[in-house]
Amino acid sequence: MNIGILIFIFISELLLMGLLILAGYMLVSGILTVPWVRTRKKISMAMMSLAKIKHGDRILDLGSGDGSLVLDAVEKGAIGVGIERITWLVWLSRLRARFSKKQGKASFRKGNIFKEELPDADVVFTYLFTEVNERLTPILLKRYPSKTRVVSRDFTFKRLKKIEEKTVGSTTLYLYEIP
């Protein structure tokens, strides 16, 4: 058999194995914790509209995934920080910020939202399970002043003051305020 064909088969098998390992990691990670689900632009724009994002607002996205929400907020004039636990998503977010020339207004860091020192924010965005939101509530209440806005996609905060609820397609968005 031709050596070139053998090398091609070997490299193809390595790539396939790498993709399977990545898919397995994402599956296990999603089962054991909150899975990553990309926020479509239509949804992120609706979330920002609900929060009444204005130029200069500081936003924080907890579980920022690929950075879509933060980058969309920067387009609206906000300054954004995303905290994400999955390393490769943090790298992807940083690359997206660099290529879109938003890295001065958008920053991303790897971290555990329950152990991190959360930065100042006027608005906090989440797409986390209700149980995770409940665990997060005391941290938000302690860290952020009254009137800080919290927007959650699909999952509720039971102990925060709900201001508004909006449905966009099959997605429900909730606007809360720190009392």
Say if residue 89 is in the same domain as residue 9. Answer: no
Is the CB of residue 123 less than 8 Å from the CB of residue 147? no
Cα 123 to Cα 14, 52, 110: the distances in Å are 43, 9, 20
Q: What's the confidence (pLDDT) of residue 8?
A: 76
13 and 52 inside one domain: no
Same domain, 11 and 47: no
Give the model's pLDDT for residue 25.
56
Q: Which helix (H) or strand (E) holds 61?
A: strand 58-62
Query: What was the pLDDT predicted at 58?
Result: 97
Q: pLDDT value at position 33?
A: 55
82 and 7, same domain (yes or no):
no
Range of the domain at 15: 1-32
| Strands, E assignment, 97-160 | 106-110, 123-126, 149-153
Q: How far is CA 92 from CA 65, 105, 168, in A?
A: 9, 16, 27
Do 28 and 66 fall into the same domain?
Answer: no
What one-letter code names the amino acid at 141? L
Per-residue pLDDT of the chain (179 residues; tens, 9 = 90+): 678 777 777 787 878 777 777 666 555 444 445 667 778 899 999 999 999 999 999 999 999 999 999 999 999 999 999 999 999 999 999 999 998 888 789 999 999 999 989 999 999 999 999 999 999 999 999 999 999 999 999 999 999 999 999 999 999 999 999 99
- Cα 105 to Cα 136: distance, rounded to the nearest angstrom: 25
Which pLDDT score is estimated for 23? Answer: 62
Could you tell me the CATH number of the domain that includes residue 76? Answer: 3.40.50.150
The pLDDT score that the predictor gives to residue 7 is 77
pLDDT for the residue numbered 30: 47
Q: Which residues contact 12 (CB under 8 A, 6 or more apart)?
A: none
